[in-house]
Amino acid sequence: MYKDKVIEILREVHPEVDYENEKGLIDKRIFDSFDVVTVVGELIEEFDIEITAEHMIPEIFNSADTIAALVEQLEEE
Amino acid sequence: MSFISIEFAAFVTATLAIYYIVPSKIRWIVLLAASYSFYALYDLQNLFYIIITTITVYLGAYLIEKIAKRQNDYIAANKDSLTKEDKKNIKASSKSKQRFILWICVLFNFGILLAVKYFNPYITSVHNLSVAYINMFRLNLLHNDDFFPFKNFIMPLGISFYTFQSIGYLIDIFYGKYEGEKNLFRFALYVSFFPQIIQGPISRFGELSKELYKGAPFDFINIKSGFYRVMWGLFKKLIVADRLGGYISATMSMKENYKGIYILLALLFYSLELYGDFSGGIDVAIGVAEMFGIKLTENFQRPFFSKSISEYWQRWHITLGTWFKDYIFFPLSVNKYMVKLGKMLRERGMTYCAKKLPIYIPMLAVWLVTGMWHGSTGRFVAWGLCNFVFIVLGTEFEPISHKIVTAAGLEENSFIVRSYRVCKTFILMSFLRIFDISHDTKAAFDGVRYAFEDWGLFSWDNVYTDLLLPKEDLIVVIVAAVIMLVFSLIQRKGSIRDRVFALPATAQWLILSLLIVAVSVFGYYGMGYDAASFIYGNI
pLDDT for the residue numbered B351: 86
In a mutagenesis test of the A interface, which of B96, B310, B338, B339 is the best target, namely the one with the most A β-carbons within 10 Å? B339
In a mutagenesis test of the B interface, which of A37, A44, A54 is the best target, namely the one with the most B β-carbons within 10 Å? A37
What distance in Å separates residue B72's CA from the closest CA in chain A?
10
Q: Are B228 and B497 in contact (CB under 8 A)?
A: yes
pLDDT per residue over B492-518, tens digit each?
Answer: 888 899 999 999 999 999 999 999 999
Question: Predicted confidence band at B523 (pLDDT cuts at 50, 70, 90)?
Answer: confident
CA nearest neighbour of B233 among B538, B539, B534: B534
Contact between chains at A52 and B326 (C-beta distance less than 8 A): yes
Q: State whether residue B123 is helix, strand or coil.
A: coil
Beta strands in B91-145 (DSSP E): none
Q: Are B532 and B3 in contact (CB under 8 A)?
A: yes
How many domains is chain A built from? 1
What are the distances in angstroms from CA B493 to CA B126, B299, B307, B387, B422? 35, 18, 18, 30, 18
Nearest to A53 among B330, B338, B358 (CB): B330
Check whether B108 has a pLDDT greater than 90. Answer: yes
pLDDT per residue over B444-454, tens digit each?
Answer: 999 999 999 98
pLDDT per residue over B342-356, tens digit each?
Answer: 889 988 989 899 889
Q: How many CB atoms lie under 10 A from the CB of residue B224?
A: 17
B43, amino acid identity: D
Determine contact: A44 vs chain B, CB below 8 A: yes
Higher pLDDT, B234 or B152: B234
Nearest chain A residue to B346, by CA: A12
Check whether B107 has a pLDDT greater than 60. Answer: yes
Question: Predicted confidence band at B148 (pLDDT cuts at 50, 70, 90)?
Answer: very low
Determine contact: B359 vs chain A, CB below 8 A: yes
pLDDT for the residue numbered B537: 61
Contact between chains at B330 and A77 (C-beta distance less than 8 A): no
pLDDT per residue over B367-402, tens digit each?
Answer: 999 998 887 788 899 999 999 999 999 999 999 999
Contact between chains at B177 and A41 (C-beta distance less than 8 A): no
Nearest chain B residue to A50, by CA: B175
Q: How far apart are CA B337 and CA B333, in angstroms?
A: 9
Check whether B274 has a pLDDT greater than 60. Answer: yes
What are the distances in angstroms from CA B335 to CA B328, B378, B494? 11, 28, 40
Higher pLDDT, B529 or B11: B11
Check whether B12 has a pLDDT greater than 80. Answer: yes
Q: Over pLDDT 70: what percentage of chain B?
A: 91
Every domain of chain B and the residues it spans:
6-219, 304-437
DSSP string, B145-182: GGG-TTTT--PPTTHHHHHHHHHHHHHHHHTTSSPPP-
Nearest chain A residue to B95, by CA: A50
Burial code (b: 16+ CB inside 10 Å, e: under 16) for B36-46 equals bebbeebeeeb
* CATH number of the domain within which A19 lies: 1.10.1200.10
Tell me the pLDDT of chain B averaged across its residues: 88
Check whether B143 has a pLDDT greater than 80. Answer: no
Whole-model pTM: value is 0.87
Q: How many CB atoms lie under 10 A from the CB of residue B520?
A: 11
pLDDT per residue over B211-226, tens digit each?
Answer: 999 988 999 999 999 9
pLDDT per residue over B308-340, tens digit each?
Answer: 999 999 999 999 999 999 999 999 998 889 988
Contact between chains at B334 and A48 (C-beta distance less than 8 A): no
Q: A12 is in which domain, residue-wise?
A: 2-76
Contact between chains at A52 and B330 (C-beta distance less than 8 A): yes
In a mutagenesis test of the B interface, which of A52, A75, A77 is the best target, namely the one with the most B β-carbons within 10 Å? A52
